Amino acid sequence: MPSAPPEQRFRDEELLADVIVRLIGDARHVAVGNASPIPAAAALTARALGNGRPYVSLLGSARNTFFTDGGRELFDCAGQGRVDVFFLSGGQIDGEANINLVSVGDYRRPKVRFPGSFGSSYLYYVVPRVILFRTEHSRRSLVEKVDFISAPGTSPPGVFRSGGPIALVTNRCLFTFDRAARCFSLASVHPGHTVEEVVEHTGFRFDRPRDVRTTPPPSAQTLQVMRGEVARELHEVYPRFAAAVFGVDQQRAG
């Protein structure tokens, strides 16, 4: 069998970024926090493909944010309803989209300590479209119930909440989230993976349609944009990621 043309070959990171681009959709303003190179690649790609829309705020970047006071300005902007999409992850994520960024095990004597929730619990409430992502899809990370809820996926009746999760992107598949039903649904399985594999490595229950589609690959245009201008922009904040995934060095980035 002949090998695929070069433009049809892609890395896992490029596929995940492309999935997120589709989820971003028609957003006006996408904000990306710290330690989020794949969401950052997606946001910048969405902007490049959309001819400047959405506006992208990339924390840690001098070129791609109007914030001068980091997280505090981001929180103010989100609270005013001026951020449409944000990204969150967690050491644990459960079937109700609760996030754990605090600890595993007994809180007083934890087995593992995470860096803390910072602004995730606030942004989870006010950003309309929060995209969860986890590049380790295992029963250790996707659990039946988180050991500590640092950011709840849903709220009780009577609690006003304008924001919350819409999807979970992993290295194996894409889940969408139904806030009313408080559960995930398997939307697609990435090339090279199977539904059975997703079930085996997921600790929570999820809805599954009879026929689950395969996640479509990035288009040639999307890959060209990612590997060109987006890769060079990423180098400012994520030089190691840009070098490892796209082969961008300091000279090319400049």
pLDDT in tens, 52-105: 899 999 998 999 988 877 778 899 999 999 999 999 999 999 999 999 999 999
Residue 250 in domain: no
End-to-end CA distance of the chain, in Å?
40
State pTM to two decimals: 0.93
Residue 252 in domain: no
CA–CA distance, 164 with 130 (Å, rounded to integer): 6
Flag whether pLDDT at 161 surpasses 90.
Answer: yes
Cα distances (angstroms) measured from residue 43 to each of 15, 113, 188, 224: 14, 30, 21, 15
Mean pLDDT across the chain, nearest whole number?
93
Residue 148 in domain: yes
Rounded percentage of the chain residues whose pLDDT exceeds 70: 95
Counted domains in the chain: 1
Range of 196's domain?
6-241
Q: For residue range 170-216, list pLDDT tens digits in order.
A: 999 999 999 999 999 999 999 999 999 999 999 999 999 999 999 99
- Residue 246 banded pLDDT, cuts 50, 70, 90: very high
Residue 165 in domain: yes
Residue 254 in domain: no
Residue 205 in domain: yes
Q: Which CATH number is 35's domain given?
A: 3.40.1080.10
C-alpha dihedral, 130 to 172 to 38 to 175, nearest 10°: -10
Q: Which neighbouring-strand residues pair with 93?
A: 99, 142
